[in-house]
Amino acid sequence: MKQLKVPSPQKIDSLFDWILANLDRLAIGAMIAAAIVAVMLAMRWIGHRLLANEPAEWGWRGIIGRVLARTSVFFMVAAAIDIVVSYAAIPAKLAHLADMFFLVAASLQAAIWAREIIVGVIRSRVGEDPGASTLGNAMALIRVLVNVVVFAIALVVILDNLGVNVTALVAGLGIGGIAIGLAAQGIFSDLFAALSIVFDRPFRRGDTIRYGSGTDVTVGTVERIGLKTTRLRSISGEQVIMANTKLLEQEVRNLAEAKVRRVSLTFSLTYQTSAETLEKLPAIAEAVIKAVKTAKLVRCIPTAFAPSSIDCELVYDDRTISPDTLAHHKADIIVGMARAFAREKIDFAYPTQTTYTAAPDGKLVMPWAQPPK
């Protein structure tokens, strides 16, 4: 049976002598360490209290609470040991070991704090309801990516301070990152486009947007913004799936942010319409539009002499945002203008052409009936 080695009386005496010689320094270091640990414990308690009062808060109050609550006991112990060692004259190897222990604990703790701050800022931009908001369904993956980045940096710092040559490691990570980036550049571009939507907020879930130009125009309501694509429900009912990068490359108009909608109606009147009647158009349109409470007349005026008509334009603003309500209001105004014109005996024009013919004697034959003599 193997016997345990018992320290010799000379070693025990030397240890007591060292403690007695450094008693004042050890006491000072222990008091300072105890005070710092007590402060960190109090801060961690405050963080837990902040989270207990508002567990779902993702503002700065919630971020600070999560940072304070994630202060680990491992870091507190390492900080206390390093402070005590710095005040006591201990062997250099033990002092170096304590410094390395504190370095490892501080690097890991800094990575945890950085992760909580970054994820908290992103969550505060995403919104209170992660399941229904912009990138709530991607927060798990974002948290993994943030963890990989911050703890990789912490690992490099630890290895570098331990004397390990990290140049090759950093170069390898860089080459690997470039290779992964080139292989998945489409995915990463859409991911960053999704993050830009979160922070810049050109539109949100539930907004009606219009994008495209010319004949390739799409109007739809945003249903979901994911890591790679944005899903919209078009006004015709089908679901439109658009890559985030392609969507942000186009001109996007957020119809939900419009305070009023300006609607323009064009119509044409016959050339037999008198100038006095044309002057009454604003008053007629004002009376019709007053029936729609959310609408306000901008103008109703003649705009051009066309080949077979006098072209006119009716413009009004409607505070309604709903496309269906806007369509109903437009229909009411069109019907109201038709009734007012019928009441005022104003004739709408349609494309016509008058043909004049000549009699055998060369006289023009009028295209309308001649009044009796």
The 3-class secondary structure across 146-202, one letter per residue, is: HHHHHHHHHHHHHHHHCCCCCHHHHHHHHHHHHHHHHHCHHHHHHHHHHHHHHHHCC
- Asked whether the beta carbons of 349 and 308 are under 8 A apart, the reply is yes
Residue 239 CA, chain-centre distance (Å), reads 21
Domain-wise residue ranges, the chain: 14-183, 202-255, 261-344
> Pairing between strand 229-234 and 216-225?
antiparallel
Instruction: Check residue 3 and give its pLDDT.
Output: 47
- Asked whether the beta carbons of 88 and 22 are under 8 A apart, the reply is yes
Please write the tens of the pLDDT for every residue from 24-50: 666 776 777 788 888 888 888 888 777
State the Cα–Cα distance between residues 119 and 123, nearest whole angstrom: 6
Low-confidence ranges of the chain (pLDDT < 70): 1-26, 29, 53-59, 87-91, 125-141, 166, 168-188, 214, 366-373
Model-level pTM?
0.51
202-255 carries CATH number 1.50.10.10: no
Instruction: Check residue 127 and give its pLDDT.
Output: 56
Please write the tens of the pLDDT for every residue from 150-180: 888 888 888 877 777 767 666 666 666 666 6
Per-residue b or e along 44-63, where b marks 16 or more CB atoms closer than 10 Å to that residue's CB: beebeebbeeeeebbeeebb
Place of tokens 């104003």: 346
Angle, in degrees to the nearest 10, between helices 167-183 and 185-200: 90
DSSP code per residue over 312-354? EEEEEEE----HHHHHHHHHHHHHHHHHHHHHHTPPBP-----
Instruction: Check residue 188 and give its pLDDT.
Output: 67
CATH fold group of domain 261-344: Alpha-Beta Plaits (3.30.70)
